[in-house]
Structures are given as C-alpha cells and as structure tokens.
Amino acid sequence: MKILFLGDIVGRNARDAAIAQLPELRKKYKLDVIIVNVENAAHGFGVTAQICDDFYKAGADCLTTGNHVWDQREILAYIDRDPKLLRPLNYPEGTPGKGFYILTTPRGEKVLVANMMARLYMDALDDPFAAANKLCNLHRLGKDVQAIFIDFHGEASSEKMAMGNYLDGRASFVVGTHTHVPSGDARILPKGTGYMTDAGMCGAYDSVIGMDTQLAVNRFVRKTPGEKLYPADGPVTLCGLGATIDSKTGLCTKVEPLRIGGSLQQALPEVA
C-alpha cells in the first residue's frame, strides 16, 4: 500500500500547486491513499468548504488540520457534515467534527487516518497520548484496519518523537506537522512504525514559515502590533513524504521525503 502525505498547505499559490500536482502524483506513484494537511490553506489561516471540495476533486482522500482549524468560521458549521476533514482528536468532548476517519482503498483495505495535537507550546488540550492509546486499542493494526496513519500537529520535536516511539509497532506512520520546516529524519522505528518529525509545508520557502518576510520580521524587530500576516509570493515547494505499508502487518517498509519545486533541494521518491 502506498500513501502520500503533504504537509501544511499555506495560501492560494500552494493550494493551486498541490491541486495541480495531485492527479499526476497519484498516477506516477500508483498511490492508494493521499492525505493533505490543509489548516493554513485559506490565505494562511484555516480552511473553507470550497477548498476541501477542490482537494477532494484533485484526488485527496482525507484532510487533516491543527491549531488553525477554526480560523474560518464557516468550518464550525461544515465540519460535522464532512467526515474526511479532521480536527485534532484530543479536543474536548463535544467539539464539532471528528479526529479520525476510516477510508477504504479500491482494493478493499481499511486505512485509519487520525489527527492529534501536541501540548508543549500549544493550546492546553486533552492528553494526546491517552487519545492515541485509546484509538489504537480500539482499532488494532493488522487486524481491524490495514494501516493507521497519524498526523501529530505540534511545536516541540521532543513531543513528536515521543509520540512516534509511544506508538511504535501500533501505528503504520506518525508524522509531525506545524513547524513548516521539513526535518531530515524520515525513518522506520525499531518496531516497524514509519516516522518523520515534521513533513514541512507546501508554500514559498523564501519567507518566514510561508508568510511575507518583511511583515514577519517586523513583528520580531519592532515588538508592536502590525499588519496581519499573509502568505508570501514566490516559487512554491511541495513538501511531504511517501510511505509504503505492508498490508498484512500494517507496518511501514519504506519511507521517503518528498520536495518538489521552489527553492529547496529536490527529493523525489523512487517509482517502484
């Protein structure tokens, strides 16, 4: 089973680039599942129903988010109607939306996609480790589902690494999002779970984490309220990863970073 994951989509240019590339990527790599983090897709802040629909039409099977999930108010009314748009699972009980979705591939394989949010330097949500443990106990890898893919949205690399090791052998893949900087540690953990601390963003890297450089620098230099940040212009790099999962065990057999276009060194998974 082949899974493609794209990190945080930042703004319209990144949206357009990703949507344009998804059909060709699915065909080229014979992808079974495409997952995209869209929490910054609407001008850098949140996501809209129309954007979700555009990604589904391009071939995305499930969309994840993070701390900006509620920035576009229309999502509060929409998210309960769209089970494929996830908000972090460890939001308090009663929060609109769901934190996981079980999709079925054309071959009949069941893939559980989950979204969770870390707590270090983030909002004080419910315990993500307890939520992950409960989820993996209810949906056993290799028995109830053929794959479990988790987007762990967080600031601290230590917390994301801890989650990867906590779920080693119980999830197919744990990938971090939120920092918008791709990490160089994509690997398979000792018990077979694929892991990457951060997938990076899909956006303009000649920026400050995807936002206009001068506006972002002014916030640090002047320390006074200024203009609202907006996504930077410039060439877009699509960042993410490709993972191959053994459908019998649910464990990861191969992981490769993906970086296409823009200003970063290119990284293309092998066609196999």
Of the candidates 43, 68, 178, 180, the residue annotated as catalytic is 68
HEC profile of the chain: CEEEEECCECHHHHHHHHHHHHHHHHHHHCCCEEEEECCCCCCCCCCCHHHHHHHHHHCCCEEECCCCCCCCCHHHHHHHHCCCEECCCCCCCCCCCECEEEEECCCCCEEEEEEEECCCCCCCCCCHHHHHHHHHHHCCECCCECEEEEEEECCCHHHHHHHHHHCECCECEEEEECCCCCCCCCEECCCCCEEECCCCCEEECCCECCECHHHHHHHHHHCCCCCCCCECCCCEEEEEEEEEECCCCCCEEEEEEEEECCCCCCECCCCC
Let me know if 153 is a catalytic residue. Answer: no
Question: If we measure between CA atoms, which residue out of 238, 86, 54 comes closest to residue 150?
Answer: 86
Q: Are 117 and 153 in contact (CB under 8 A)?
A: yes
Q: CB atoms < 10 A from the CB of 74, how many?
A: 13
Q: Measured between alpha carbons, how far is 52 from 100 in angstroms, rounded to an integer?
A: 16
Q: Which residues are designated catalytic?
A: 68
